[in-house]
Structure 1
Amino acid sequence: MADKRKNFALRLSPDLYAALERWAADDLRSVNAQIEYLLTDAARKSGRLRPPRDPDASAERPEEPEQ
């Protein structure tokens, strides 16, 4: 299956890249995954990205009306 991610070039200062590299290593991630994590977290916190869908939510039964 093809990866549905957008590829693009990103220019960073060497100091910022080194900091991201250390941070990624601390979190056991690649630098790319760390950058994606940080951007996703910032976008969610700012309200610009919806929270991830809960896969269990669709399996739940609808609430029954009260009698």
Structure 2
Amino acid sequence: MTPVQHPPESVRARIVERFADHVRLQAAGIDPELPFPEYCLDSVGAVGFAADIEETERLAQRTAAVDGIH
């Protein structure tokens, strides 16, 4: 079995922050190893969260690209 690879800590931290916003908790109270239903996030909420993460990461990538030009 292939071991689970975790994203870099900065990406993981951004994802945890956004997830905490979605479930209205403090980021410190989020355990990334727990499944979404443990936080009462249903499939509709999960889709919204996924869309938010996609947009957040797209903006982060654009910012990194622009910063790299300067």
Same fold (TM > 0.5): no
* TM-score, scaled to structure 2: 0.31
| Higher alpha-carbon Rg | 1
* TM-score, scaled to structure 1: 0.32
